[in-house]
Structures are given as C-alpha cells and as structure tokens.
Amino acid sequence: MKVFVAENYDELSETSASIIIEDMKAKSNITLGFATGSTPIGTYQNLIAAYNAKEISFKDVLSFNLDEYLGLPRTHEQSYYYFMHNELFNHIDIKEENVNIPNGDIEHIEENIKKYQEMLDSNPIDIQILGIGGNGHIAFNEPGTSFESTTHTVKLDEKTREDNKRFFNDISEVPKEAVTMGIKDIMSAKKLIVLANGESKAKAVKELLEGTKSENFPASILLDHEDVTLIVDKEAASLLKED
Ligand code: PGA
C-alpha cells in the first residue's frame, strides 16, 4: 500500500484528484467508482475545476457508486443519488445513462441488486475512491461482513448511524438499512484511492496500517490489493508509529 501524508485537506484532495485526472487523460472511457461522505468532496471540486479548465471530459466515463440508503427517495437531500448530482454530476458532462448508483427502492431491491451486480461484473472499475469509517467499514460493509461479499443490503451499525447523524435533523431520521457494493466488488477495482481526513479517522488509519487482517475490520482486506494509495492528512496520521 502506498501511503501519502498530506499537509492538510486541500493537499489530500489535490493529490487524489491528480491521480484520477492523470488516468482520465490516458483513458477517456475510464470507469470510475465514486464514494459519498464528507471526505471526497474536495476531490470532486478539483475534478470539476479540471473539467472547467478543459483538461478532462466525462462524456465517455462510466461511473459506479459504492452505496445508498434504503428507503430514501432519490430526491431526498441525504440520498447518495442526490449527493452525487449535487457535488459532482450536475457540474460536469457525464451522461446520466452512464451513472450507476445502487437503487434504495425497498420494493424492488432484489431485482435492483441483481441488475447492479450484472453492470459491475461486466464493467470492471478502473479507479475506486474509498473512504474509511471510524469502525473500519468500507462502503457500508460493516464489521463482520464477509470478504467474499457482493452487492447486498445491510443493517447499519449504530456507530455509522451516529457518525452520519450530523447530516440529518435527528438520529431517528438516519436510515437503518442500506444497499452496498460488497467487499469482493471493491477489491475487484483495478486501482483504489483510500482517503481519510481528520482526527476522528486516526484510530482507523492506525488499525489499517498496523493491525491484522480480519473481517471485524473490513478495511484490513485492502492490504491484499496490489494497487492501493492511502491518502491521509496529518491528523488522520497522528497515531501512526514514526519510522
Ligand atoms: P466520511 O465517511 O467521508 O463522511 O467521513 C467515510 C465513511 O464512513 O466511509
């Protein structure tokens, strides 16, 4: 795993965006895997700036997203569909038909998962951006999830609901379930960029780099991937041993 400790969030975001921009220049019909949450927003702002500067175009890009809440309509401001459009897709030239986000419509969930998995299996992701949860989750694969998992529904960990309640009026509004790409799907991406920002991620970053591989800490599987770049800011790196 390559590890880059950035001076601050701006440098973290510029570094991750520059990897994506370079690969987009080399392959215009690249398949990108996006993540939601606070951490990748700066990366998306850098991608939008590069698009505005005509450095890159998304017109031939295919995209996937890691996960989505169950039961929130796509128009809900906290749905990941809404987030991705608001933070990135509405500002670039990606085609809506090339955007794949798991659909959290509970009524058709089995059918939607099947379709999503088929799309993923036939379109390998070139670069997947990934955050890491305070409990080591990747996407919504909570501790205890099989490393062999594919797209599935999950009951969200209380820690995750607590972490995400800042986006809602009250914890009672945070959905209890979600649909997520599985760990095997994430590991199938050719390149992974893992981002962690701030002191609240310091323990998880330490566990990732200094702990052992275990399904109780889903991110630990990333050590087995041959092309992972972990980009952290100084606060997220603050508990790492100096060497
Ligand atoms: P965050 O979430 O970017 O909002 O910290 C990351 C995650 O929980 O995967």
Ranges of the chain whose pLDDT falls below 50: none
Give the C-alpha distances (Å, rounded to integers) separating 155 from 73, 174, 229: 18, 12, 29
Q: What pLDDT shows up at residue 22? A: 98
Read off the tokens for 48.
């939008």
Q: What pLDDT shows up at residue 87? A: 98
142 is catalytic: yes
Distance CA 12, CA 233 (A): 6
Answer yes or no: are the C-beta atoms of 231 and 195 closer than 8 Å. Answer: yes
Give the C-alpha distances (Å, rounded to integers) separating 142 from 80, 147, 149, 180: 18, 11, 11, 10
Whether ligand 1 lies within 6 angstroms of the CB of 38 is answered as yes
C-alpha 106 – ligand 1 centre gap (Å)? 23
Whether ligand 1 lies within 6 angstroms of the CB of 133 is answered as yes
Answer yes or no: are the C-beta atoms of 106 and 70 closer than 8 Å. Answer: yes
C-alpha 59 – ligand 1 centre gap (Å)? 28
Read off the pTM.
0.96
Q: What pLDDT shows up at residue 30? A: 98
Answer yes or no: are the C-beta atoms of 9 and 39 closer than 8 Å. Answer: no
Q: What pLDDT shows up at residue 79? A: 97
C-alpha 218 – ligand 1 centre gap (Å)? 14
Cβ-based neighbours of 235, under 8 Å, separated by 6 or more: 197, 198, 199, 201, 202
Q: What pLDDT shows up at residue 243? A: 61
Q: What pLDDT shows up at residue 27? A: 98
Whether ligand 1 lies within 6 angstroms of the CB of 104 is answered as no
Catalytic hit among 103, 137, 164, 207: 137
pLDDT per residue over 178-220, tens digit each? Answer: 999 999 999 999 999 999 999 999 999 999 999 999 999 999 9
pLDDT per residue over 209-240, tens digit each? Answer: 999 999 999 999 999 999 999 999 999 999 99
Catalytic hit among 65, 135, 164, 197: 135
Q: What pLDDT shows up at residue 124? A: 97
